[in-house]
Amino acid sequence: MKENTVLTKMRSGEPAAIGWLTAGSPLLAEIVAGLGFDGIILDTQHGYWSYEAMLNALQVILPTPTIPFVRVARNEPDLIGLALDAGALGVIVPLVNTPEQAARAVAAARYAPAGSRSVGGVRLRLYGSDYVQEANRQIMVATMTETSEAIENVRAIAAVPGVDCLFIGPSDLALSLGCYPERNQAHSRAIAEVIAAGREAGVPVGMACSGAEDCLQRARDGMLFLAAGNDASWCTAGATTHLKTLRTGLARE
Protein backbone atom coordinates (compact mmCIF):
# COMPACT_ATOMS: atom_id res chain seq x y z
CA MET A 1 0.00 0.00 0.00
CA LYS A 2 1.13 3.55 -0.65
CA GLU A 3 3.16 4.61 2.36
CA ASN A 4 1.79 7.41 4.53
CA THR A 5 5.07 9.29 4.62
CA VAL A 6 3.64 11.89 7.02
CA LEU A 7 2.98 9.15 9.58
CA THR A 8 6.40 7.63 8.87
CA LYS A 9 8.05 10.99 9.52
CA MET A 10 6.12 11.61 12.72
CA ARG A 11 6.78 8.07 13.98
CA SER A 12 10.48 8.80 13.70
CA GLY A 13 10.12 12.18 15.42
CA GLU A 14 10.41 14.32 12.28
CA PRO A 15 8.11 17.28 11.66
CA ALA A 16 5.80 17.33 8.64
CA ALA A 17 4.89 20.44 6.62
CA ILE A 18 1.16 20.39 5.95
CA GLY A 19 -0.86 22.61 3.59
CA TRP A 20 -4.54 23.41 3.93
CA LEU A 21 -7.18 23.80 1.25
CA THR A 22 -10.59 25.37 1.75
CA ALA A 23 -11.74 26.64 -1.65
CA GLY A 24 -13.06 23.32 -2.89
CA SER A 25 -10.90 23.44 -6.01
CA PRO A 26 -9.26 20.25 -7.36
CA LEU A 27 -7.19 22.50 -9.63
CA LEU A 28 -5.65 24.25 -6.63
CA ALA A 29 -5.16 20.87 -4.98
CA GLU A 30 -3.17 19.70 -8.01
CA ILE A 31 -1.06 22.85 -8.04
CA VAL A 32 -0.37 22.88 -4.29
CA ALA A 33 0.38 19.13 -4.19
CA GLY A 34 2.98 19.81 -6.88
CA LEU A 35 4.78 22.25 -4.58
CA GLY A 36 6.14 19.58 -2.27
CA PHE A 37 4.14 19.76 0.96
CA ASP A 38 4.42 16.55 2.98
CA GLY A 39 0.64 16.52 3.36
CA ILE A 40 -2.46 18.50 2.45
CA ILE A 41 -5.69 18.82 4.38
CA LEU A 42 -8.94 19.15 2.44
CA ASP A 43 -11.12 20.94 4.96
CA THR A 44 -14.72 19.76 4.71
CA GLN A 45 -15.63 21.18 8.13
CA HIS A 46 -15.11 24.88 7.40
CA GLY A 47 -14.04 24.70 3.75
CA TYR A 48 -16.19 24.62 0.61
CA TRP A 49 -15.66 21.10 -0.67
CA SER A 50 -18.47 19.19 -2.31
CA TYR A 51 -18.06 15.41 -2.18
CA GLU A 52 -17.31 15.34 -5.90
CA ALA A 53 -14.67 18.08 -5.71
CA MET A 54 -13.06 16.31 -2.72
CA LEU A 55 -12.93 13.05 -4.72
CA ASN A 56 -11.42 14.85 -7.75
CA ALA A 57 -8.81 16.50 -5.52
CA LEU A 58 -7.86 13.13 -4.05
CA GLN A 59 -7.54 11.79 -7.60
CA VAL A 60 -5.10 14.50 -8.67
CA ILE A 61 -3.09 14.33 -5.45
CA LEU A 62 -2.58 10.53 -5.68
CA PRO A 63 0.21 10.62 -8.33
CA THR A 64 2.19 13.14 -6.24
CA PRO A 65 4.28 12.38 -3.13
CA THR A 66 1.98 14.60 -1.02
CA ILE A 67 -0.23 12.73 1.42
CA PRO A 68 -3.91 13.78 1.41
CA PHE A 69 -5.95 14.20 4.58
CA VAL A 70 -9.57 15.21 5.00
CA ARG A 71 -10.92 17.17 7.92
CA VAL A 72 -14.39 15.71 8.28
CA ALA A 73 -17.30 17.95 9.20
CA ARG A 74 -17.94 16.14 12.49
CA ASN A 75 -17.14 12.95 14.38
CA GLU A 76 -19.47 10.80 12.32
CA PRO A 77 -18.51 7.28 11.15
CA ASP A 78 -20.27 7.72 7.79
CA LEU A 79 -18.30 10.88 6.99
CA ILE A 80 -15.02 9.26 8.06
CA GLY A 81 -15.78 6.22 5.88
CA LEU A 82 -16.66 8.38 2.87
CA ALA A 83 -13.44 10.41 3.14
CA LEU A 84 -11.28 7.28 3.46
CA ASP A 85 -13.08 5.41 0.67
CA ALA A 86 -12.51 8.46 -1.56
CA GLY A 87 -8.77 8.06 -0.91
CA ALA A 88 -7.80 10.22 2.07
CA LEU A 89 -4.86 8.68 3.93
CA GLY A 90 -6.06 10.16 7.18
CA VAL A 91 -8.82 12.06 8.85
CA ILE A 92 -8.78 15.08 11.11
CA VAL A 93 -11.78 14.81 13.42
CA PRO A 94 -12.99 18.06 14.99
CA LEU A 95 -14.16 18.63 18.56
CA VAL A 96 -13.06 15.36 20.12
CA ASN A 97 -13.55 16.06 23.81
CA THR A 98 -13.55 12.68 25.54
CA PRO A 99 -11.79 9.32 25.21
CA GLU A 100 -15.13 7.79 24.16
CA GLN A 101 -15.38 10.27 21.28
CA ALA A 102 -11.77 9.52 20.32
CA ALA A 103 -12.51 5.78 20.33
CA ARG A 104 -15.53 6.43 18.08
CA ALA A 105 -13.34 8.28 15.56
CA VAL A 106 -10.66 5.57 15.61
CA ALA A 107 -13.19 2.75 15.22
CA ALA A 108 -14.69 4.45 12.15
CA ALA A 109 -11.25 4.64 10.51
CA ARG A 110 -10.02 1.09 11.25
CA TYR A 111 -10.97 -2.24 9.76
CA ALA A 112 -11.81 -5.14 12.12
CA PRO A 113 -10.60 -6.25 14.54
CA ALA A 114 -9.32 -2.75 15.46
CA GLY A 115 -12.51 -1.00 14.40
CA SER A 116 -15.71 -1.13 12.41
CA ARG A 117 -14.81 0.44 9.05
CA SER A 118 -16.65 -1.27 6.22
CA VAL A 119 -14.64 -2.67 3.28
CA GLY A 120 -15.30 -0.98 -0.06
CA GLY A 121 -14.20 1.88 -2.26
CA VAL A 122 -13.25 0.82 -5.79
CA ARG A 123 -10.39 3.28 -6.22
CA LEU A 124 -8.57 2.12 -3.10
CA ARG A 125 -6.86 -0.64 -5.10
CA LEU A 126 -4.88 2.19 -6.74
CA TYR A 127 -3.16 2.55 -3.35
CA GLY A 128 -1.99 -1.07 -3.49
CA SER A 129 -3.51 -4.54 -3.66
CA ASP A 130 -2.78 -4.96 0.08
CA TYR A 131 -4.78 -1.84 1.00
CA VAL A 132 -7.18 -3.63 3.38
CA GLN A 133 -4.35 -5.50 5.13
CA GLU A 134 -2.19 -2.38 5.54
CA ALA A 135 -4.70 0.46 5.96
CA ASN A 136 -4.89 0.29 9.75
CA ARG A 137 -1.16 1.12 9.88
CA GLN A 138 -1.15 3.75 7.13
CA ILE A 139 -4.33 5.71 7.83
CA MET A 140 -3.80 8.58 10.26
CA VAL A 141 -6.45 9.49 12.81
CA ALA A 142 -5.91 12.97 14.25
CA THR A 143 -8.36 14.02 16.93
CA MET A 144 -8.78 17.75 17.42
CA THR A 145 -8.07 19.09 20.88
CA GLU A 146 -9.90 22.38 20.84
CA THR A 147 -12.07 22.82 23.93
CA SER A 148 -11.47 23.14 27.65
CA GLU A 149 -13.17 19.74 28.06
CA ALA A 150 -10.68 18.17 25.64
CA ILE A 151 -7.80 19.74 27.59
CA GLU A 152 -9.14 18.25 30.84
CA ASN A 153 -9.32 14.85 29.12
CA VAL A 154 -6.22 15.13 26.96
CA ARG A 155 -4.25 12.38 28.73
CA ALA A 156 -7.19 9.96 28.49
CA ILE A 157 -7.65 10.87 24.81
CA ALA A 158 -3.94 10.36 24.10
CA ALA A 159 -4.18 6.91 25.72
CA VAL A 160 -6.85 5.71 23.27
CA PRO A 161 -5.20 3.11 20.99
CA GLY A 162 -5.20 4.33 17.40
CA VAL A 163 -5.06 8.06 18.06
CA ASP A 164 -2.11 9.02 15.84
CA CYS A 165 -2.03 12.76 16.48
CA LEU A 166 -3.46 15.31 18.91
CA PHE A 167 -4.25 18.23 16.63
CA ILE A 168 -4.86 21.57 18.32
CA GLY A 169 -7.47 23.98 16.98
CA PRO A 170 -6.30 27.23 18.57
CA SER A 171 -9.33 29.31 17.59
CA ASP A 172 -12.01 27.01 19.00
CA LEU A 173 -9.76 26.51 22.00
CA ALA A 174 -9.63 30.28 22.53
CA LEU A 175 -13.43 30.54 22.25
CA SER A 176 -13.85 27.70 24.72
CA LEU A 177 -11.43 29.34 27.18
CA GLY A 178 -13.13 32.73 26.79
CA CYS A 179 -10.11 34.42 25.20
CA TYR A 180 -11.08 34.88 21.57
CA PRO A 181 -9.56 36.62 19.66
CA GLU A 182 -6.94 37.84 22.18
CA ARG A 183 -5.33 34.70 23.50
CA ASN A 184 -4.12 34.61 27.08
CA GLN A 185 -1.91 32.62 29.39
CA ALA A 186 -4.59 29.98 29.96
CA HIS A 187 -4.49 29.36 26.20
CA SER A 188 -0.70 28.95 26.25
CA ARG A 189 -0.96 26.66 29.27
CA ALA A 190 -3.60 24.54 27.51
CA ILE A 191 -1.31 24.13 24.48
CA ALA A 192 1.57 23.19 26.78
CA GLU A 193 -0.70 20.58 28.41
CA VAL A 194 -1.37 18.96 25.03
CA ILE A 195 2.34 18.91 24.20
CA ALA A 196 3.10 17.29 27.58
CA ALA A 197 0.31 14.73 27.20
CA GLY A 198 1.49 13.84 23.70
CA ARG A 199 5.07 13.47 24.85
CA GLU A 200 4.09 11.23 27.80
CA ALA A 201 1.90 8.99 25.63
CA GLY A 202 4.21 8.98 22.61
CA VAL A 203 1.49 10.56 20.46
CA PRO A 204 2.56 13.32 18.03
CA VAL A 205 1.01 16.74 18.47
CA GLY A 206 0.11 19.20 15.74
CA MET A 207 -1.60 22.51 15.34
CA ALA A 208 -3.36 24.75 12.86
CA CYS A 209 -0.64 27.41 13.04
CA SER A 210 -1.04 31.05 12.06
CA GLY A 211 1.82 30.99 9.53
CA ALA A 212 5.24 29.60 8.75
CA GLU A 213 6.93 31.42 11.66
CA ASP A 214 4.34 30.04 14.08
CA CYS A 215 4.98 26.55 12.63
CA LEU A 216 8.71 26.94 13.29
CA GLN A 217 8.07 28.01 16.88
CA ARG A 218 5.67 25.08 17.42
CA ALA A 219 8.27 22.70 15.93
CA ARG A 220 10.75 24.02 18.51
CA ASP A 221 8.07 23.28 21.15
CA GLY A 222 8.01 19.67 19.94
CA MET A 223 5.03 19.61 17.57
CA LEU A 224 5.30 17.42 14.47
CA PHE A 225 2.13 17.97 12.39
CA LEU A 226 2.54 21.58 11.32
CA ALA A 227 -0.33 23.02 9.31
CA ALA A 228 -0.27 26.67 8.34
CA GLY A 229 -1.92 29.04 5.97
CA ASN A 230 -4.47 27.97 3.41
CA ASP A 231 -5.38 28.62 -0.19
CA ALA A 232 -7.40 31.69 0.77
CA SER A 233 -4.67 33.24 2.92
CA TRP A 234 -1.93 32.43 0.37
CA CYS A 235 -4.04 33.98 -2.39
CA THR A 236 -4.81 37.03 -0.26
CA ALA A 237 -1.12 37.55 0.60
CA GLY A 238 0.02 37.15 -3.01
CA ALA A 239 -2.74 39.30 -4.49
CA THR A 240 -2.22 42.02 -1.87
CA THR A 241 1.50 42.25 -2.61
CA HIS A 242 0.85 42.24 -6.34
CA LEU A 243 -1.81 44.95 -6.13
CA LYS A 244 0.30 47.12 -3.82
CA THR A 245 3.26 46.95 -6.21
CA LEU A 246 1.01 47.74 -9.14
CA ARG A 247 -0.76 50.65 -7.43
CA THR A 248 2.53 52.11 -6.19
CA GLY A 249 4.04 51.84 -9.65
CA LEU A 250 1.01 53.32 -11.38
CA ALA A 251 0.94 56.26 -8.95
CA ARG A 252 4.55 57.02 -9.96
CA GLU A 253 3.92 56.87 -13.72
Interface ranges with ligand 3PY (CB under 6 A)? 146, 169-172, 208
HSE (CB half, 13 Å, CA atoms) of 185? 0
Given 27, 35, 36, 46, which residue is catalytic?
Answer: 46
- 43 forms part of the interface with Mg ion (CB under 5 A): no
Partner that binds at residue 170, options Mg ion, ligand 3PY, none, CB closer than 5 to 8 Å by kind: ligand 3PY
Beta strands per DSSP E along the chain: 16-21, 39-43, 67-71, 90-93, 140-145, 165-168, 205-209, 225-228
- Gap between the Cα atoms of 130 and 144, Å rounded: 29
187 is catalytic: no
Exactly one of 26, 47, 90, 169 binds Mg ion (CB under 5 A); that residue is 169
Q: Shortest distance, CB of residue 76 to Mg ion, whole angstroms?
A: 16
User: How is residue 207 annotated by DSSP?
Assistant: E
Q: Are 74 and 28 in contact (CB under 8 A)?
A: no
Q: Shortest distance, CB of residue 103 to ligand 3PY, whole angstroms?
A: 21
- Gap between the Cα atoms of 126 and 27, Å rounded: 21
- 206 forms part of the interface with Mg ion (CB under 5 A): no
Q: Shortest distance, CB of residue 161 to ligand 3PY, whole angstroms?
A: 24
Residues with a known catalytic role: 46
User: In the complex, which residues of this chain contact Mg ion (CB under 5 A)?
Assistant: 146, 169, 172
